[in-house]
Structure 1
Amino acid sequence: MRTMADLPQDLKPMLASTAEPFDSPDFLFEPKWDGFRCLAYLEKGTTQLKSRSGSDLSGSFPELASLHKCAAGIPAVLDGEIIAFHEGRESFYHLQQRVRHGHPGTPLGKHAQLAPIIFIAFDILYSGGKSVLAAPLEDRKELLRRTVADENQHLLINSYILEAGEALYAAAVAQGREGIVAKKRDSPYLPGKRSKLWLKIKPKKTVDAVVVGYVPKTDDSFVSLVLAQYSPKGELLHVGSVGTGFTEQETREILAELKPLSGKKPAVQRLRQPAADVIWVKPEMVVEVRIFEYTPRGTLRHPVYCRRREDLNPEQCVIKSWLEKGDG
């Protein structure tokens, strides 16, 4: 039998482009969850959780350490989303707290008690140690159903419907959900690739950006964050600032993490705003902002802060048309 060491350790999740709501008999449609994308490596006696960037998340989520006990056909690799539920819906904030403040081997803290952790599985890449990447999506869905024979409070299979994408999208918007994902029914699994075989349909246009500075207001608050994104050539370019969408707690927490990163010079090129009041920081923090569009000058129009993206590296924040944008 193949062991974990035999499974490819450099697998990356397949990614989705963005689209408007649509119906099609060629696609299935499933809920999009507000959590951490994750590949679960399951072997006899072992579960390892890898983030989209390849980081090991296993220590932050000890509740998921026994996923392998719920699966047949191991060694196996499942694709899914780690989510935290709080007051009846997923909470990205509570999920972040687990990663930021959790320590491997320590007892579960207050965030675990407030927000139970669940792994939502929606695809399978390896089964019985063998690749099923080339199999059509619907075949993989059926194999996933047979593999995860024991759904429980920490492991669920994502539901989906056929053809009626517009109705599912409307329901997601009405419930204030993250959106939906449309997937071609016969699509293979393309690790690390973004294509139109999978389409992310979200109510708002969002982009990920790197924080390169901030304009202070008081000792524990700021007026705005200065944002940048990488060009396809690897240049870190200024794309504007965001000053709305933060709670007071988020403002304090973000500022506390930015202060130790302070520097004397901006890390960005093509600076598009006066720099007199800006305190520059090392480009390490990634945030997601909701925007209307990019302006012709390449800046973000009407940006509103959404959340931190600790599951992404700064280099993954690349300038592109929002229609081509997607985080999987």
Structure 2
Amino acid sequence: MLATPGSHVPPGEEWVHEVKWDGIRLLGDSPAGRTQARLTTRNENDATTAWPEIADGPTRDLLVDGEVIALNDGGLPDFRVLMDRMHNRDRRKAARFAAERPATYMVFDLLRLDGRLLVDEPWTERRKVLEGLHADGDLGSWQVPGTYEDGHMLHEVTKQQGLEGIVSKRRGSRYRPGERSKDWIKLPHRYRASLVVGGWRPEVGTEGGTERLGALLVGQPTPDGLIYRGRVGSGITGKRAQRLGELLRETGRNPFAGPDVDPDGGVPAVDAKGTHWVEPLLVVEVETHGTAVAAASYEGRLRQPSFIGIRDDIEPKDL
């Protein structure tokens, strides 16, 4: 069951609210008689091998829905921490990943228990049984995150703490596998940041000929130099791309601080290849998921960034 994007926290006592986790959605199936659970993705791909610390879960017969999360260096759940693990099917590598940065399975719904399907039960009943299983230790290492009555409070707190957002659920809702339902409303946080352009990449398919601007490489000014924060392509089309091209002053020098200055400052080879470096003079406004420009973020990279506009009212020194 998938949540529908919303524009505001739904009001009323018929709704309950949860933290929206920045992780990987997995179903956990622990059939009777098996010592290891089977973990599957939304596309029904078997992901059990990738998560050994999670697969060794409960021994009771149950099927749950949840999110695998791992914390970044700032202590926040961060999808990018999981990227190297999500497609891995090598058991030795999986064991090493689990030891270096263990993941946690946050279970938020119960679909089957002891052979009985619960999908047609209201959310309140499924949640009550799930919390009872957790309290009795029947879920092993799997965790059950809290729920909150005050959605506006949770929305504001998660924003302040740099979490991904919230999900609001109708108390009487049934679980509809595979469906996107308005009984679940997701409200992810989007953050604005003013960053400096240090380079641009041509639009795919225009390299070598009449190159059109397709993406910007942006960074954050610091006392140690311009620290690379990522590549922004979404939102750059037509007149916007043309206007940006007119304002950028090309140079043969990479303006970003390298790894010798800041471990997160260097531009990855995949982003640097084919880039036209520019004087770091232009400030742009970028919208992104998560507080990626904060010092506590994992590698300080933007997540799903989009270009908002040119900030001709401020200069890099103002940042």
TM range (shorter): 0.5 to 0.7
Unaligned regions of 5+ residues in structure 2, if any? 192-202, 209-214, 218-230, 242-263, 277-286, 290-300, 306-319
TM-score of the pair, normalised by structure 2: 0.60
In structure 2, the CA distance between the partners of 1:250 and 1:215, relative to structure 1 (3 Å rule), is farther
Relative contact order higher in (CA < 8 Å, ≥ 6 apart): 1
Matched residue type, 1:95: L
What secondary structure is seen at the aligned counterpart in 2 of 1:213?
Answer: coil
Q: Does residue 171 of structure 2 align to residue 181 of structure 1?
A: no
Matched residue type, 1:49: L
State how far apart, in whole Å, the 1-side matches of 2:13 and 2:103 are. 34
TM-score of the pair, normalised by structure 1: 0.58
Q: How high is the sequence identity, in percent, across the aligned residues? A: 22
Q: Does residue 295 of structure 2 align to residue 306 of structure 1?
A: no
Unaligned regions of 5+ residues in structure 1, if any? 1-12, 206-211, 229-237, 242-246, 260-276, 278-288, 292-303, 309-328
Q: Does residue 127 of structure 2 align to residue 141 of structure 1?
A: yes
In structure 2, the CA distance between the partners of 1:153 and 1:143, relative to structure 1 (3 Å rule), is closer
* Larger Cα-atom Rg: 2
Question: CA shift at 1:92, angstroms?
Answer: 1.4
What secondary structure is seen at the aligned counterpart in 1 of 2:14?
Answer: strand
What secondary structure is seen at the aligned counterpart in 2 of 1:156?
Answer: coil
What secondary structure is seen at the aligned counterpart in 1 of 2:125?
Answer: helix
In structure 2, the CA distance between the partners of 1:50 and 1:215, relative to structure 1 (3 Å rule), is farther
Q: Does residue 28 of structure 2 align to residue 40 of structure 1?
A: yes
State how far apart, in whole Å, the 1-side matches of 2:19 and 2:139 are. 19
Contact 2:58 2:140 in 1 (8 A): no
Q: Does residue 55 of structure 2 align to residue 65 of structure 1?
A: yes
Question: CA shift at 1:132, angstroms?
Answer: 0.8
Counterpart pick for 2:144 among 139, 152, 157? 157
2:6 maps to 18
Question: CA shift at 1:213, angstroms?
Answer: 3.4
Contact 1:82 1:118 in 2 (8 A): yes
Contact 1:39 1:80 in 2 (8 A): yes
Mapping of residues 229-308 of structure 1, within 5 Å? 251-252=268-269, 290=288, 306-307=303-304
Structure (1 or 2) with the greater strand fraction: 1
Matched residue type, 2:166: I
Matched residue type, 2:7: A
Counterpart pick for 2:188 among 184, 202, 205? 202
Number of residue pairs matched by the alignment = 227
2:39 maps to 49
In structure 2, the CA distance between the partners of 1:249 and 1:34, relative to structure 1 (3 Å rule), is farther
In structure 2, the CA distance between the partners of 1:216 and 1:66, relative to structure 1 (3 Å rule), is farther
State how far apart, in whole Å, the 2-side matches of 1:60 and 1:253 are. 25
**What's the Cα RMSD here?**
3.8
